[in-house]
Structure 1
């Protein structure tokens, strides 16, 4: 995968190199055999609509040279006899038909257009101008046929013979590692398009080209987003232990090679590690370990290094200050434990090899200091422990044990954590457990599993956090002014009472409707139900620790309604005659226990029959302007609720003089 990613990154640089070349000098020319060759490099590489070529002679006006657009000719593919060229032409056709997002496809088309005149003419980026005269200077302009946008203008060119492109400058070995030699040079995209690499082994006389496709230098964003050239442009991975000479030749825009660069000599590397040391011996006292070994069988060994780790640590630390030339070493130690060693053999080329692992155990039988000052804090569902202790060099941690036995011995305790704790605190989560009587113990342990004396707590009583089981409603009945409930008790023995909740089905807002009910109260009468409504009831149980059970089943019932139609529930509180306005003004107050659809004003004259005097009103005021002098008027308000109940007000009399 790493190698594949490296190739992808190099491909990005190559494609960017093409883009840089295209942006710097879009139109190139070259004189050969009485003809000026013209080649251009559009950003899109292949343009289905084609291009037009214009020529300026000795600084004069530009004249169009082609009668029809120079563009890709898909029909040529069927008649192509060269199978390799046919394959590339098919690639170009696929590219121009919508596969521009395939970078490899663009790369293959680009390279083929460099090395093949026929292919460059096929995709429409090449024109040969035969109608030129020696002694005159020419410039060429390229435009896109579709919109007449200018692609670019060439440098001035004449029929004088063009010299081969000079080799890349500053060619050098970038770095060397084993079978890899990488090379870089000064990229000059204004001077050449690509590079070919050649190699010969030391003692041979002939150079052989070793790159399959032209090497195209280019800049691209690196992993940090910085636009730059890569660390190297070419990598040779097929080298053996032999030494080699390398030369590099530049390729111009028409695929022609120039002269070779100065030869670069690369000497082979010695990457063969020396033989491992063997027969390692270890012995110890209380303060040091002596290591001995047989020397490596390799003749080019320069010396040895000793690496050590302690108690299974995966990091090995070099113990010697300078390279050892002998075959023994004394390593000072300051504590017991398991010491593990590797011996490294190092040769003149800095190749190294590590020996097999060898270890020795330096014993320790002294227990660590005892922890002290054990503190216990009890919360619902949790017991928190804290203590104090003294850490030593070989300290490993603290073991935590627990027992639910009364007056436990050590055998009654069980370890409740898998690994010793480094901190001097611990939280024991007791989610879902009932009231418990527990004992806790803490002991310090060292890396040799030596254990301190146990620090044992007093009895710890944990609170009951388990909710009782839910009661079950078995019967609900409705009377005129009450709703009566009956339920089956929760089976838990620590239940101390029940709570009844009610909601109107229309709003589903549960409200507690009772004071404390004892454990023996298995019925309840709701004396204040909303009459004529669908009501929901549920019951919960409470235990002596304050835990609340889940709710019972929900029982829904419609409460009975009392017929109150015709009752005086409206107060006609204000009625007055405004003589200046010639009107009677009425104002009344409604009973807040009802929702109203509206009100109507009824009136009679001189104690006659009450008749409607208004339409259905939504306000609690009314102005009566149809009155006469010397008349007694009687007024009454009728209120209509949303549930069809009709309520009436008191009657008030007003005399108009």
Structure 2
């Protein structure tokens, strides 16, 4: 196993995308990063992590990692207390050197990891003296760090051996877990930060196929290129597979993965790969397979077919193309001057997308020309090629070059926006499709209340003209509001459409009215109430019933809306109990009754003589009192009831006096206050006289 230190890593140098692993000094990172992925059979969770810096890599390899799992959700229900499970009883760290031998013999990437972890040196020249030695040692550590992470991206078994990966097979599809990884190194050596992944086995997502694979066949050679920007979150490397037997068998070209050599500035969006062909005129087929950091391959791309052919040795290459401030397209290219004698000129072609079809865009250009300027109408996205027209045989064409003129004009506002809600609260929003050629899609917005800020319902772009939203029918808002905007390929966004309103089907009855006060005057009952606070209440109805009566309550009066808040029920039977309540009704037909009120009407005498003849109130400020007197000629009086009200309030029973009394003093008075008094006789039969009242201001 000691021979492992002698493993050549020259191939790794050729394939290693160092930019991918380099640190960005302007961005603060944690000491470790982690990703997770569900197994396709939904019975395992794969985890991968990596140290963020060479120093943290060294410490983490020494002390290892602690991995803890928390079960947070089960059967779509959040657990009151997450269930904790320590997945690493001892810290996860690299296996001993002797355990690597079998895997290293069959997996070159695993051998690179082992060499980085345990090798005596890593092919870095070290000066024996001074600062140069310190610098060289720092460079060696950084190369060990970088090469090992790249190799781990291409060998999941190696990552498991290194303690940089874990497979959790004790999982259930109806549960969701939070995995938390923390370095085991002492806090004084490494910041005690941690990373987490929240994932469920049910969240398996198939890997996508590599897109936009293009092949340019030439003289016993082919140049492949494909999109890497869209799939950068999925794949770290790619395999190019080749078939020379009509697609029956595909073999990996060179048997090695291809990685992106961009410097990390994000400008490179396509991967390029060259392969040689044994002969021209024979069909070869190619496809590309992406490989994720778990070592899992995605589905093969669409097969690209072609054959080598005799071509010009020189190929033009567009160096720059843009639209200047005057709206003129400027294109310049390079072409080997030695090939001028073999061509008859150049031809500029254009297409709306990278796959074409490409059409002629101007006249044939002179053999010696290397620039052209044209003022013609362009689309939002324009792909240009320059073709060297051969005098004999087939010419050669450059790779496409994208030109996007500046565009700050937003699309038109979406029109004919409609929203329809069903009884389950599902809202269907539709609108007419915009006609702009560079239209990309739409955004849909919603507000729960009118005047409230609209919030987007989709994080990205909605490409159709129909959208479904679900509203909670238990929320108190009765209406919701929707609007739509359009976006073009430059992300210019239109103004919002006209706001459309949907009224939710009612499942919550209105708030009840409240009987605030009442007044009994003989056989008349006056009710006052506070109307329901809901905005969609259409009526308030006054109901009356008799205690103990099982018949249907009587609707005394119904009032539309909320404006009327009082009613007098007249002509009732004296000395009888009645129950009143107010029923509020909403637009949807739902009703809510108020609390019940029980009143007893007065039992009055049947003669007109059963009333008081006079009543007076005299203010006596010097004695701080009011004298109230009255007179009557009533017979068989059992007692007198005296009522009092202050400042226009409801009269309430104040005193009960013997039948012979003709007056009373009120000493509980305040200056500048109006008082009302009333007196009523109660006869021996239980009947009541009418009430005599008087008002005075103290």
TM-score by length of 2: 0.34
TM-score by length of 1: 0.36
Report which of the two structures shows the higher radius of gyration computed on alpha carbons.
1
